Structure 1
Amino acid sequence: MKNLLLIWLIIPVFAFSQITEDLDFIAPFNDGLAAVQKGKSWGFIDQSGALVIPFRNDLVVSRTNGLLYPVFQNDRCLISTIKDGITYFGFIDTTGKTVIAPQFLNATNFENNAAIALNILKQDLGDNGILGKHVVGYRYFEVVIDPYGNIGTYLNPKGTNMALDKKYLKTPPVITSRQISDQIYAVRTENNKWKLVLVDQETAF
């Protein structure tokens, strides 16, 4: 009986040490979770040290306080996946469940329950008689999304023309707009100036 009790006491300690040893990086806590790195994989521990999100390869690192690591903000963490050579971004919640499927060409972390993302719009351009092909085009827009991926505001309503091809999208397009307060966004214009856009989060979505 004593031996059995000793085994049960040792197993949790052993399991805990397997998780918390040989880590390459331990990030500060944010939203109650801290990112931990092993090799090229990242996971998250809670404040008891338990690995609540197992190590995975799709978590996106962000520069925070001068360091690069995944982070939860507003209970959301960026993930990415590659399809046909193009990287798409989405979000998981604090259980590791995907709540916004990877669909954006880039995205920021959430702040004040909003994030900026690059949303793709497919345009039907008609038939090309010379080539004998149906022609489509693509534009992307900087949009404000809520924690469930709903689009509230188009920050650049004209959008930006693009070729949805890995030859031209070797890296994600840069997000130029930024949130400067709960409701105000700084948006770069076509003449390389800035304008302020007021977004009412309560009515935008």
Structure 2
Amino acid sequence: MKKLMITIMLFPLLGFTQIIENVDYISPFNNEVAAVKKGDKWAFIDKEGQIVVEFRDDLVPSDNDNSTYPVFNNERSLITAEKNGIPYFGYIDKSGKTVIKPEFLNATNFKDGVALAIVVEKEIVGYNDIFNKPVAYYHYFEVVIDTAGKATQYLTQLAIHVAPSNKKNQQVPPIITSKLLSNNTVAVKENNKWTIKKIN
């Protein structure tokens, strides 16, 4: 019995190497982790080959170095979740925990502590007695967000005033036209011309 107890106590200390088999793709390391793909799911491993974020189907691949894979920047990685058939974007941290809930119609990876996103704001302008429901306008804005998901600056308003749609031809996220130049400047495109703005 004593021998069995010693074996049980030593078992976790012996340490078995985690084996990841049948992987379809392994990305270069970025922010101390690499993305690995198996089927339709992605995970992240550290430099020891240990999985730090388990395989999941909500990670968002980005174009990087002539390939497409999810990345971590500023300890954040993009995820997507559908609500009423509409894809929304948010972020997880390296433990796999959602730290910015999916609420943006589109979003970019973080760079130097900021990211770009498209937010939708609903404005109730009246009430329709015939259909027994409120009348609302929807305002779409390109914004700068911080690593907590807070909109720190509004950049431009998009000319869309209908509610987000789950129609198949409208399921592609609206395009973010602004570009992050650095942690304190952004290029905003309006009327086919660029304006360089300082990030507040």
Q: Which residue in the other structure is 1:203 paired with? A: none
User: Residues 6-45 of structure 1 correspond to what in structure 2 (within 5 A)?
Assistant: 12-13=16-17, 16-17=18-19, 19=20, 21-45=21-45
Give aligned-pair identity as a percent: 46
Q: Number of paired residues?
A: 191
**Cα distance, 1:128 vs. partner?**
3.7
Residue 172 (1) aligns with residue 176 (2): no
Give the whole-Å Cα distance in 2 for the aligned partners of 1:132 and 1:46: 54
TM-score by length of 2: 0.88
Q: Which residue of 1 aligns with 2:112?
A: 112
Mean alpha-carbon deviation: is it higher for 107-116 or for 165-174?
165-174
Flag the 1:48–1:11 CA change in 2: closer, same or farther, 3 A.
closer
Q: Is 1:181 aligned to 2:185, yes or no?
A: no
Q: Distance in 1 between matches of 2:94 and 2:14?
A: 29
**Residue 198 of structure 1 corresponds to which residue in structure 2?**
198
For the 8 Å contact 1:125–1:136, the answer to whether it is kept is yes
What is the Cα deviation at residue 123 of structure 1? 1.1
1:125 paired residue number: 125
Query: Partners of 1:169 and 1:40 in 2: how far apart?
Result: 23
Residues 113 and 183, structure 2, Cα contact 8 Å, conserved in 1: no
DSSP 3-state at the match of 1:145 = strand
Deviation at 1:165, TM superposition (A): 1.7
Deviations 1:48-89 (A, max 9, x none): 000111101110000011110000001100000011110000
The 8 Å contact of residues 143 and 155 in structure 2, kept in 1 or not, is answered as: yes
Identify the range of structure 1 (129-138 vs 54-63) with the bigger mean alpha-carbon deviation: 129-138
Contact 1:141 1:160 in 2 (8 A): no
Return 5+ residue gaps in structure 1 as ranges.
Answer: 201-205
Amino acid at match of 2:16: P
Counterparts of 1:7-156 in structure 2, within 5 Å, are 12-13=16-17, 16-17=18-19, 19=20, 21-128=21-128, 133-156=133-156
Tell me which moved more, 121-130 or 43-52. 121-130
Question: Aligned pair in 2 of structure 1 residues 195, 23: CA closer, same or farther (>3 Å)?
Answer: same
Letter in 1 for 2:185: I
Distance in 1, matches of 2:154 and 2:129, equals 34
Distance in 1, Cα, partners of 2:148 & 2:155 = 18
In structure 2, what is the Cα distance between the partners aligned to 1:96 and 1:133?
39
User: 1:142-201 CA distances to partner (integer Å, 9 max, x unpaired)?
Assistant: 000000101100011x44324322126321000000111221111111x2211111113x
Q: Where in structure 2 are there 5+ consecutive unaligned residues?
A: none
Instruction: Report the CA distance between 1:99 and its aligned residue.
Output: 0.4
Q: Normalised by the size of structure 1, how large is the TM-score?
A: 0.86
Runs of 4+ in 1 over 3 A off after TM superposition: 8-11, 128-133
Residue type at the aligned position of 2:183: D
Letter in 2 for 1:173: P
Is 2:159 the partner of 1:160?
yes
**In the aligned structure 1, how far is the partner of 2:103 from the partner of 2:146?**
14
